[in-house]
A = this chain, B = another copy of it.
Amino acid sequence: MSPPAAAMNVERQLLLSEIAEFNAAYAHCIDDDQLEQWPEFFAEDCEYQIIPRENVDLGLPAAIVFCDNRGMLIDRVVALRKANIYPAHYSRHVLGAPVLLDADGRGLHSQTSYVLMLTRMDGETRLFSAGKYVDVMVRIDTLLVTPI
């Protein structure tokens, strides 16, 4: 590679590494049941959606969860804590390496595959969900994320 190409590659790999670190910290936050910290991974004007794969493929925008600011995420945690004082299960996320898709005025676009396991209090671990994060990330002091 020519020097500028090499420098660009170094920059790109650093960025991927930072995104991987951010994603891993995000997943540990949930798995460690530190849900009160979870909204802090998002920008104030974030967008958080969970969309079933069938809907994505059919071009249907219907999300089963839709939040379009950080306050809604905080509300979700409060509601969850009220409904369940103690967790009924432990969660464990394992994430693949991120892929950098694009960078534009909105931020860095990346996607990351995940598998989510739940372990019940009786010790049984089962596969709960597998899918991908489709993220737009912006840097605000520290790195913040806007999953879509």
Q: How many copies does the complex hold?
A: 3
In the complex the two chains form, is B93's CB within 8 Å of A95's CB?
A: no
| A96 within 8 Å of B (CB atoms) | yes
In the complex the two chains form, is A18's CB within 8 Å of B9's CB?
A: yes
A39: B residues at CB distance < 8 A: none
A131: B residues at CB distance < 8 A: 92
| A121 within 8 Å of B (CB atoms) | yes
A25: B residues at CB distance < 8 A: 99
In the complex the two chains form, is A130's CB within 8 Å of B114's CB?
A: no
In the complex the two chains form, is B96's CB within 8 Å of A93's CB?
A: yes
In the complex the two chains form, is B13's CB within 8 Å of A9's CB?
A: no
- Give the complex CA separation of A22 and B98 in angstroms: 10
Residues of chain A at the chain B interface (Cβ within 8 Å): 9-10, 13-14, 16-18, 20-21, 23-25, 27-28, 31, 33, 52-54, 57, 90, 92-100, 111-115, 117, 119, 121, 123, 125-132
